[in-house]
Each structure stands twice: as C-alpha cells, then as structure tokens.
Copies of this chain bind each other. A is one copy, B any other.
Amino acid sequence: MTIEEAKKKALELIKNSKTCVLATVDEGGYPNMRALLNLEHDDLKTIWFSTNSSSTKIKQAEKNEKAGVYFFNEAAFQGLRLTGNIKVRRDQEAREKLWRPGFEMYYPKGANDPDYCVLELQVKKGNYYEGFEKAEFEIN
C-alpha cells in the first residue's frame, strides 16, 4: 500500500464512519477517549467536532492541545489514527460550519448558544491500516 493509496482509503473510511473516537490528555497525562459523531473534515488536514462548552474534553483541550482521533471499521479490519493539535473554536465561522439541523434539541439558543462550541483538530500525522498492511504519513 503506497502512501497515496493509504490516504485515499483513509478518506473513504472517514466518509463511511458515523462516529469516531477522540482522545485528549487529562491533567495527569492520561489519554481520555470518548466516541463522537463524525461531522466534518477538510481532506485529512482538519477534523471538526462540536460539543458542549462545559465538557471535559474542552477543559482538557484548553490545557493540553495534543490530541488524536481514531476511525475504524471492525468488520473490515480497517483503522485510521490521526494525531495533531486541537483548538477550541467559539467564533461565528466555526459555529456555523458545524451546526446541523436538529442541534436545537441540545442547544436551544442555536449556533450562538453559549453551551455550544467547536473543536478543530489540526492533523500532523496519520497511520492507516487494513488487514496486516499499514502506512504512515505526515500532513502539512
């Protein structure tokens, strides 16, 4: 599997994933994971999430920006690990980019609800595997 093939397959895996796992690092240095809806990505460069402002992941991202995301298909034995730096975005552009119909259920005030905010993972490295083949790559 060439790096180009791995990147192409990685993008397909993201497109076919309903959820993914986001890891941030807690105050003690331990990796903390949680499943999140796979909402939006810009190529393999940026992975976007929305969450509530009071969540643990926001607190952790604000103290330590080192993070990772993992997409996988258990049945097909495919997995994609991306690592990079995560930013908390509260600006209008990010709020609207991630807003989806139905989010009013969780954020009654809409995209400007103070409890709604966005996480932007700026990917630096990737690792895609399928069966026993894998490829590592860097993202510029």
Chain A residues in the interface with B (C-beta under 8 A): 18-19, 21, 23-26, 28-35, 64, 66-68, 70, 72, 74, 79, 81, 83-84, 125
Number of copies: 2
By secondary structure, the A interface counts as: strand
Bound-complex Cα distance A67 to B23 (A): 11
A68–B29 CB distance below 8 A: no
- Distance between A78 CB and nearest chain B CB, rounded to angstroms: 10
B66–A31 CB distance below 8 A: yes
B21–A21 CB distance below 8 A: yes
Partner of A66, one of B28, B74, B81, B83: B28
From A21, A23, A26, A31, name the one whose CB has the most chain B CB atoms within 10 angstroms. A31
